């Protein structure tokens, strides 16, 4: 299974010279099986860049959404297959507290966007799906768990090519009661023995005083989860808009010095790897 990052920034796009190396686009990751089937995780502004992967893609396009906050849907109106007649795009909406399955299309309505979703030539299907007991999309077998986030959302366990990848962006591990769907032990079980864990790591430990309840984890909380869950490779994801490239380099050096029992990296736009 190949994993390519097109957007790794949390909350809001952050163009600028201090974020150019790790990237300023909001979440979008593309998985590809050994057979060449692709699965898109989230439709943040990185999805616009991911269009290049789909110019000659002959198969239906599938997009899993963790939830519908703007930074996870805002790239969709700029995804070039939307404007091609033969494209068949299926969107699996996030499991949000207030069900709003059409959120990604509603941003292409009223006065939000010049082209309305019902005017585009592609075929777009919203497919509300319960992944909790397992569901297959082509080569990908997917399970889910509700994430700890204001307005809710979905984290995914994705099996493909005998590898297990966990995608849990915008998940607050030590969330207050208002959106604490699962405790740390549940997350350990969900992530256990995974080949790769992509997990929110937006804040530093000392920032959590001000950010408690905002729906994101600290880097240290995520490192702890990876260790407890015996994860092989940890990808720290959803960087704070204020986190600079140099700070992420310094954090990498700090964590390397702690000699964690797993491999890790801070997600970087454009990076691709094969599990």
Q: Helices (H) and strands (E) in the chain — how many of each?
A: 6, 14
Q: Does 69 bind Zn ion (CB under 5 A)?
A: yes
CB of 170 to Zn ion, least distance (A): 4
Q: Does 170 bind Zn ion (CB under 5 A)?
A: yes
Contacts (CB under 5 A) with Zn ion, residues 49-68: none
Query: Which of 1/41 has CB closer to Zn ion?
Result: 41
Residue 126 to residue 183: CA distance in whole angstroms: 30
Query: Which of 97/161 has CB closer to Zn ion?
Result: 97
CB of 16 to Zn ion, least distance (A): 22
Of 32, 22, 24, the closest CA to residue 273 belongs to: 32
Which residue of the chain is nearest Zn ion when measured via CB? 69
Query: Which of 69/163 has CB closer to Zn ion?
Result: 69
DSSP assignment of 148-208, as one string? SSTTB-EEEEEEETTEEEEEE-S--TT--GGG--S-HHHHHHHHTT-SEEEEE--B-GGGH
Query: Which of 78/214 has CB closer to Zn ion?
Result: 214
- Total of chain residues touching Zn ion, rule CB under 5 A: 2
Query: Which of 26/87 has CB closer to Zn ion?
Result: 26
CB of 72 to Zn ion, least distance (A): 6
Residue 82 to residue 89: CA distance in whole angstroms: 8
Q: Does 239 bind Zn ion (CB under 5 A)?
A: no
CB of 216 to Zn ion, least distance (A): 8
Q: How far is CA 268 from CA 3, 140, 169, 214, 271, in A?
A: 12, 24, 15, 23, 6
Binding site for Zn ion (CB under 5 A): 69, 170
């Amino acid at each position: 299974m190949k994993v390519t990052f097109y957007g790794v920034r949390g909350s809001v796009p952050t163009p600028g010279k201090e974020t150019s190396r790790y990237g300023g686009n909001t979440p979008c990751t593309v998985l590809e099986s050994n057979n060449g089937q692709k699965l898109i995780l989230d439709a943040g502004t990185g999805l616009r860049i991911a269009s290049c992967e789909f110019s000659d893609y002959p198969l239906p396009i599938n997009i899993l959404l963790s939830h519908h906050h703007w930074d996870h849907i805002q790239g969709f109106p700029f995804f070039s297959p939307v404007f091609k007649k033969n494209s068949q795009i299926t969107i699996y909406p996030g499991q949000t507290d207030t069900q709003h399955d059409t959120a990604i299309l509603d941003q292409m309505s009223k006065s939000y966007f010049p082209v309305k979703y019902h005017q585009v030539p592609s075929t777009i299907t919203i497919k509300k799906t319960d992944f909790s007991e397992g569901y297959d999309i082509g080569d990908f077998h997917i399970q889910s768990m509700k994430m700890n986030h204001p307005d809710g959302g979905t984290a995914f366990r994705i099996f493909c090519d005998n590898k297990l990848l966990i995608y849990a962006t915008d998940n607050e591990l030590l969330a207050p009661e208002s959106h604490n769907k699962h405790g740390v032990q549940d997350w350990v079980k969900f992530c256990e023995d995974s080949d790769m864990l992509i997990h929110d790591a937006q804040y530093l430990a000392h920032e959590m005083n001000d950010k408690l309840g905002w729906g994101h984890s600290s880097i240290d909380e995520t490192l702890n989860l990876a260790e407890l869950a015996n994860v092989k490779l940890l990808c720290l994801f959803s960087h704070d808009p204020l986190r600079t490239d140099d700070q992420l380099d310094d954090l990498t050096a700090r964590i390397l010095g702690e000699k964690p029992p797993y491999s890790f990296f801070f997600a970087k736009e454009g990076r691709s790897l094969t599990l």
